[in-house]
Chains A and B, each alone.
Chain A
Amino acid sequence: MKSKINFTINGKQTSVEVNLEMPLLWVIRDELNLKGTKFGCGRAMCGACSVHVDGELVRSCSFAIKRAQGKSITTIEGLSESEENLHPIQQAWIDENVLQCGYCQTGFMMAGAKLIEEFSDPTDEDIKANISNICRCGTHPRIISAIKRAASLKKSNS
């Protein structure tokens, strides 16, 4: 049975008519055609599907769309103001040449963006203890450097 759900995505009001149990991930990818959020494991373990729901970090593969009613969702496509004016985390990812295959990286950037909201000056240990996403290419050392750089970019921007 399909029902209508209203929410905001990347600042835009939207509504979809889907099965209420459908994971937010597939709504984002297939109903709204935003492909930056990835499917990795389907069990909220790898973090490739990470998005922000009302500012909270959420693994969207295991978040039923009914829970998004009236909420505000941000995906990687909505993180930056524009492709020229990037969010500090995306800018830091470029500066540090972080990624390889890139598949898990939007999830890492969403997690990193949340982390620098909470830690204005994160240490390696803060990052290691708070992000459990999986990356197979082994970009870990650059992810840590980039999150620290993003935090300082954020400070100098504000």
Chain B
Amino acid sequence: MERKKTKEQTNPSRRKFLQNVGITLASGSFVVAAGGCQPIRRFIADFASEMDLPSGVKEWHPDYWFEINEDNTISMFSPKIEMGQGTLTGFAMMVAEELDLNLDMVKVHHAETSSGLTDGFATGGSTSTGSMYLPLRTTAATLAGMLKNAAAKIWALESTESFLLEDAHVLNGTDALSFHEINLKTTDWEVPKKPKLKDPKNFKVIGRGFRRSDLKDKVLGKPIYAIDQAYPNMLEAVVLSSPYLESSIKKANTSKAAFLEDVVKIVRTETWIGVIAKNRYAAEMAKRMIEVEWDIPKKWQQDEVLSLVEVGKGKAVNIQNDGNAKKVFEEEEIEYQVIERSYRTPFGSHAQMEPNVVIADYTEDKITIVTGTQGPEIIRNWVAKEFKFKKDKVNVIPTFLGGGFGNPYTQHSEAVQLSKAVRRPVKVVATREQEFQSAHHRPCTHHEFKVAIGAGKKIKAITHNQAFGDMVLEAIPLVKKLLGADFVSAGHGARILYDIEHRNTTVWHNKTPLKTSIWRGVGCFPNGFAVETFMDEIAVETGQDPFEMRLSYLRKSKDELHQRMKRVLETLREKCNWENIPLEDKVGQGIALFEDRKTVVAAMVEVVAVAGKIKVKKVYHVSNPAIVVNREGAKQQVEGSIMMGISASMYEKITVKDGQIEQSNYHQYPMATLADCPEMEVYLLEDEGAKRPYGMGEPPLSVIAPAIGNAIFNLTGKRQRSLPFELEV
């Protein structure tokens, strides 16, 4: 798909336009600042602690963003990728709102990297809707103003004041012009100086619940994923990569494989062997016939790997120091009740349903890549560097993703090398075994807490030491260089948010032989589990109601976040009717409250024992992302988080044995299925006067594991301090 460059794209007045629309190009300054260290360091620190993440998009001109089609529909090119989270539907809603269009009149497509519209920071961190909320609406409102100005010229009218937009037409009271007619008749566009955004009071689209814009295509099984794409002359390939950690090829015999029918070529490198064939079946069969001996420098065992991730090992970064917790614990005059606990979470797999697929077409002067990825521009840059092409000679065309969850695993390098070897487009489809054994995983964590409880059962001081395997660092080396610690991930949720006088949090990170990276809920999944289980333990040890105890560290604070946390928790207490829950031996209840990227969430979970096994019976869930754009979309994200939380806390675990990840496919990595689906009550809160929404993709997940664990304790009296939980009763 190639789009014509318009005059406007090279027009110097564009800079003025950008100033006019009041969009400060945070990401633009990011690019400028990349040469020096300080601004980017600050940028990433902001990203970590505040999550006011700039969208990463560099161009905000409506001409880039939108196309007016003959049928008056508007095409929008999205820098963010749809991986199921509903982002494209949310974007269509924002555009429809400002242009007074029916939602089905806005068609959102993924932008290719060559369009200049993609985003340097990838789709993730639950930031798409929030970071695009004002810029996208402003850009759409600018287009609305441009259409009105152009209509005024056509009608030879001075003022656009009384003009209305309706059903893709500009109306002036007597006449109407369709968007398409205006587009045909206009060559000289006048950009409004101050595009007028709609007052939220007059919203007709934003804040309601709409079905997904990709719903029908997906229901019909349309070919929208990378695995479905085909090109003339294309060959299929499978890559044999080592199932062992940190290993390479010692010896390989590919002669049997090479003679198999339909096999075109076998490409061997130091670490992998690629089989190119006329069809996927032949490639897969040939791969199975390769005899290979791996060079395995060390056969890692599970205990050795876990021992690397322990508080006290690796680099330490202090990320919270309020008051003087150390002094409180050293105090000899006052006797505090001291409680110490430690927790662990395991390595976990993304296990998204679509295995990684990369189609590469290498020619003399350009490389084209079609793939499902959360970071098309990152892949574009990696490929340009590795194959020594200028960035504008590499085009990455993103497709719909069959699930993301942060998985950065991609075989772009392999695909380009294979295409280069045969000078034809080559499609590489990963096997599920590669996804389990060669891809990145969620790092394991270790947490140590200590609390000093004084008079009136009041917590005087609390400390949290957390150890991680490297995470974001592995995927984005730049971040590692700049920060030297796992700041980005640890910034989310390791800090103690309750209003306690003395708080201290330190993050330790160490390298593990497993490739680890972002997984849905970056830091909030393990930290939510650890912090909120510890809070429950304190409540039980001191004989306090879990709601009341938490509220006592929120009520007196004037801090906005504390007030929002209090509101969410009180709403949960009311919705689950906490005070009137009958005391039954057969049902266990547990709660958790957390904040991630400014979205506050809380859950109450009920568990029961069925045939000797724990089951989640019901989940009450309250979220406050400040503004809800699409109620349906937000609700889907909560439901998805509940199921993923059940799955990750009750079943999932990646382990190492004899230098290999033990789990090679779903039969060794059990996950939640329909049988695990509980009743759900999902509530969404908003903040009056909020300027922008916060994320809903990950924060709702943070409370599921601790609420289940606390409920299990309530039912069985057995405290759950590591994941996955013990389910036998």
For window 39-94 of A, CB contacts with B under 8 Å fall at 39-43, 45-46, 48, 75-77, 80, 83, 86, 90, 93-94
Asked whether any CB of chain A lies closer than 8 Å to the CB of B417, the reply is no
A106 near B221 with CB under 8 A, answer yes
Q: If the complex has contacts A36-B220, A97-B211, are A140 and B84 also in contact, measured as CB distance less than 8 A?
A: no
Q: For B642, what are the chain A residues with a Cβ–Cβ distance below 8 Å? A: 138
Q: If the complex has contacts A23-B281, A103-B354, A104-B353, are A97 and B671 also in contact, measured as CB distance less than 8 A?
A: no
A101 near B352 with CB under 8 A, answer yes
The residue of chain B having its C-beta at the shortest distance from the C-beta of A46 within the complex is B666
Complex Cα spacing A43 to B279, Å: 19
Q: For B632, what are the chain A residues with a Cβ–Cβ distance below 8 Å? A: 97
Q: For A23, what are the chain B residues with a Cβ–Cβ distance below 8 Å? A: 281
Interface flags, B416-450, vs A, CB<8A=1, else 0: 00000000000001011000000000000000000
Q: For A45, what are the chain B residues with a Cβ–Cβ distance below 8 Å? A: 665-667
Query: Which single member of A2, A99, A104 contacts B219 (CB below 8 Å)?
Result: A99
Q: For A46, what are the chain B residues with a Cβ–Cβ distance below 8 Å? A: 353, 666
The residue of chain B having its C-beta at the shortest distance from the C-beta of A80 within the complex is B220
Asked whether any CB of chain A lies closer than 8 Å to the CB of B146, the reply is no
A100 near B677 with CB under 8 A, answer no
Q: If the complex has contacts A128-B675, A140-B643, are A30 and B280 also in contact, measured as CB distance less than 8 A?
A: yes
Asked whether any CB of chain A lies closer than 8 Å to the CB of B227, the reply is yes
Q: If the complex has contacts A30-B280, A100-B636, are A135 and B665 also in contact, measured as CB distance less than 8 A?
A: no
Query: Which single member of B230, B351, B352, B672 contacts A140 (CB below 8 Å)?
Result: B672
Q: For A80, what are the chain B residues with a Cβ–Cβ distance below 8 Å? A: 220
Asked whether any CB of chain B lies closer than 8 Å to the CB of A9, the reply is no
Smallest CB–CB gap between B268 and chain A, Å?
23
A136 near B405 with CB under 8 A, answer yes
Q: For B227, what are the chain A residues with a Cβ–Cβ distance below 8 Å? A: 35, 38-39
Asked whether any CB of chain B lies closer than 8 Å to the CB of A8, the reply is no
**Interface segment, one of B24-32, B395-403, B707-715:** B395-403
Q: If the complex has contacts A30-B279, A45-B667, are A109 and B219 also in contact, measured as CB distance less than 8 A?
A: yes
A103 near B402 with CB under 8 A, answer yes
Complex Cα spacing A22 to B280, Å: 9
Q: For B84, what are the chain A residues with a Cβ–Cβ distance below 8 Å? A: 99-102, 137
A141 near B677 with CB under 8 A, answer yes
Complex Cα spacing A142 to B680, Å: 11
Complex Cα spacing A2 to B639, Å: 47
Q: For B228, what are the chain A residues with a Cβ–Cβ distance below 8 Å? A: 35
Smallest CB–CB gap between A137 and chain B, Å?
5
Query: Which single member of B220, B223, B353, B429 contacts A136 (CB below 8 Å)?
Result: B353
B219 near A93 with CB under 8 A, answer yes
Asked whether any CB of chain B lies closer than 8 Å to the CB of A152, the reply is no
The residue of chain A having its C-beta at the shortest distance from the C-beta of B236 within the complex is A30
Q: For B673, what are the chain A residues with a Cβ–Cβ distance below 8 Å? A: 128, 131-134, 140
Complex Cα spacing A26 to B212, Å: 29
For window 650-678 of B, CB contacts with A under 8 Å fall at 665-667, 671-677
Q: If the complex has contacts A38-B354, A101-B352, are A138 and B644 also in contact, measured as CB distance less than 8 A?
A: yes
The residue of chain A having its C-beta at the shortest distance from the C-beta of B664 within the complex is A43
A43 near B280 with CB under 8 A, answer no
Asked whether any CB of chain A lies closer than 8 Å to the CB of B693, the reply is no
A138 near B219 with CB under 8 A, answer no
A141 near B639 with CB under 8 A, answer yes
Asked whether any CB of chain B lies closer than 8 Å to the CB of A116, the reply is no
Asked whether any CB of chain B lies closer than 8 Å to the CB of A127, the reply is yes
Q: If the complex has contacts A99-B215, A99-B219, A138-B641, are A39 and B674 also in contact, measured as CB distance less than 8 A?
A: no
Complex Cα spacing A103 to B636, Å: 16
Q: If the complex has contacts A100-B84, A101-B401, A141-B677, are A90 and B219 also in contact, measured as CB distance less than 8 A?
A: yes
Complex Cα spacing A35 to B225, Å: 9
For window 263-309 of B, CB contacts with A under 8 Å fall at 279-282
Query: Which single member of A19, A37, A76, A86 contacts B281 (CB below 8 Å)?
Result: A19
B218, B279, B642, B665 pick with most chain A CB within 10 angstroms: B218
Asked whether any CB of chain B lies closer than 8 Å to the CB of A113, the reply is no
Complex Cα spacing A127 to B261, Å: 43
A134 near B666 with CB under 8 A, answer yes
Complex Cα spacing A45 to B670, Å: 11
Q: For B222, what are the chain A residues with a Cβ–Cβ distance below 8 Å? A: 35-36
B641 near A134 with CB under 8 A, answer no
Complex Cα spacing A35 to B357, Å: 14
Interface flags, A6-40, vs B, CB<8A=1, else 0: 00000000000011011100100011011111111
A38 near B402 with CB under 8 A, answer yes
A26 near B279 with CB under 8 A, answer yes
Q: For A41, what are the chain B residues with a Cβ–Cβ distance below 8 Å? A: 432, 665-666
Query: Which single member of B282, B353, B431 contacts A135 (CB below 8 Å)?
Result: B353
A40 near B281 with CB under 8 A, answer no
Complex Cα spacing A41 to B642, Å: 24
A138 near B643 with CB under 8 A, answer yes
Asked whether any CB of chain A lies closer than 8 Å to the CB of B314, the reply is no
A31, A39, A93 pick with most chain B CB within 10 angstroms: A39
A101 near B677 with CB under 8 A, answer no
Complex Cα spacing A48 to B227, Å: 13
Query: Which single member of B236, B279, B354, B647 contacts A101 (CB below 8 Å)?
Result: B354
Complex Cα spacing A18 to B640, Å: 40
Complex Cα spacing A140 to B282, Å: 35
Asked whether any CB of chain A lies closer than 8 Å to the CB of B85, the reply is yes
Asked whether any CB of chain A lies closer than 8 Å to the CB of B355, the reply is yes
A127 near B214 with CB under 8 A, answer no
Interface flags, B524-555, vs A, CB<8A=1, else 0: 00000000000000000000000000000000
A128 near B281 with CB under 8 A, answer no
Asked whether any CB of chain A lies closer than 8 Å to the CB of B216, the reply is yes
Asked whether any CB of chain B lies closer than 8 Å to the CB of A151, the reply is no
Smallest CB–CB gap between A51 and chain B, Å?
11
Q: For A94, what are the chain B residues with a Cβ–Cβ distance below 8 Å? A: 211, 215-216, 219
Smallest CB–CB gap between A77 and chain B, Å?
6
Complex Cα spacing A90 to B288, Å: 38
A99 near B218 with CB under 8 A, answer yes
Q: For B493, what are the chain A residues with a Cβ–Cβ distance below 8 Å? A: none
Q: For B640, what are the chain A residues with a Cβ–Cβ distance below 8 Å? A: 100, 137-139
Smallest CB–CB gap between A149 and chain B, Å?
13
Asked whether any CB of chain A lies closer than 8 Å to the CB of B122, the reply is no
Q: For B216, what are the chain A residues with a Cβ–Cβ distance below 8 Å? A: 83, 94
Asked whether any CB of chain A lies closer than 8 Å to the CB of B607, the reply is no
Q: If the complex has contacts A94-B216, A99-B219, are A136 and B665 also in contact, measured as CB distance less than 8 A?
A: no
Asked whether any CB of chain A lies closer than 8 Å to the CB of B590, the reply is no
Q: For B429, what are the chain A residues with a Cβ–Cβ distance below 8 Å? A: 39
For window 626-643 of B, CB contacts with A under 8 Å fall at 632, 636, 639-643
Asked whether any CB of chain A lies closer than 8 Å to the CB of B83, the reply is yes
Smallest CB–CB gap between B299 and chain A, Å?
26
Complex Cα spacing A19 to B278, Å: 12
The residue of chain B having its C-beta at the shortest distance from the C-beta of A93 within the complex is B219
Q: For B402, what are the chain A residues with a Cβ–Cβ distance below 8 Å? A: 38, 101-104
A38 near B353 with CB under 8 A, answer yes
Complex Cα spacing A154 to B707, Å: 39
Query: Which single member of A22, A48, A90, A144 contacts B220 (CB below 8 Å)?
Result: A90
A48 near B353 with CB under 8 A, answer yes
Q: For B639, what are the chain A residues with a Cβ–Cβ distance below 8 Å? A: 138-142
- Tell me the B residues contacting A by CB distance below 8 Å: 83-86, 211-212, 214-216, 218-225, 227-228, 230, 236, 261, 279-282, 350-355, 400-405, 429, 431-432, 632, 636, 639-644, 647, 665-667, 671-677, 680
- Could you list 23 A-B pairs, sorted by A, with CB under 8 Å? A2-B261, A26-B279, A30-B280, A35-B221, A35-B228, A38-B354, A40-B354, A43-B667, A83-B220, A86-B219, A90-B220, A93-B219, A94-B215, A100-B640, A101-B400, A101-B403, A103-B354, A128-B675, A131-B674, A133-B673, A134-B353, A135-B353, A140-B643
Closest 4 CB pairs of A and B: A36-B221, A138-B643, A101-B84, A103-B402
Known pairs A43-B665, A135-B353 / 13 extra A-B pairs, C-beta < 8 Å? A18-B281, A37-B221, A45-B665, A46-B353, A76-B220, A86-B219, A128-B674, A134-B353, A134-B671, A140-B643, A140-B677, A143-B674, A144-B677
